[in-house]
Amino acid sequence: MRKAALMLAVALVSSSGCSIVSGFHRDWRCCSCAPRGDNPGGCWQGCWDSQCTGHQGNLKAIICRQDPCHYEARFRGTFFKVIPFQYKMTLTAVRHDDHFDLHGQKDLGRLLGVYRFEGHATPTDFVAHYTSQDDRGRFVMSRR
């Protein structure tokens, strides 16, 4: 009986996306030794805040270049200081002399609607604004 319960628990944890979380943590540790380039790729750390509700929290991002104009961004943060959230989205990048403009959107389902994101990244700072069905706010992050 204990073995069956343990197997059920492992199956539930695996299907709930916890393996994605551990993958994020593993990749986050590897970021510290990754070279910092002249693009938005790499690890970023900072905070987010809602202009509608006043909520705020910690935020981390791992951004990986897919091609010269697209980056995969994995965000992980906290809501109410203890509730974790994470999501992944593709960002389109436009390079300028001293920064990159980034934008993207992700459908978060019927409850949260479409999430839109616009911002810019310099070699050291990443500032972005987001809007969704019921919220809007900003991210402020620095390279790790």
Residue 97 tokens read as 């002399």
Do the bridges between strand 100-107 and strand 136-143 make them parallel or antiparallel, or are there none, so unpaired? Answer: unpaired
Structural domain containing residue 51:
2-143
- Look at residue 24 in the predicted model and tell me its pLDDT: 82
**The pTM is what?**
0.79
What are the tens digits of pLDDT across the range 89-131? 999 999 999 999 999 999 988 888 899 999 999 999 999 999 9
**How many domains does one find in the chain?**
1
Which CATH number belongs to the domain containing residue 100 in this structure? 2.40.128.120
Type of residue found at 24: F
Q: What is the pLDDT of residue 89?
A: 95
Distance in angstroms (rounded) separating the CA atoms of residues 12 and 144: 33
> Which pLDDT score is estimated for 34?
60
The pair of three-digit structure tokens given for residue 107, joined into one six-digit string? 């459908």
Helix (H) or strand (E) holding 15: helix 2-15
pLDDT in tens, 60-90: 999 999 999 999 999 999 988 889 999 999 9
b/e map of 107-123 (b: 16 or more CB within 10 Å)? eeeeeeeebebebbbee
24-33, 49-58, 105-114, 129-138: the lowest-pLDDT one:
24-33
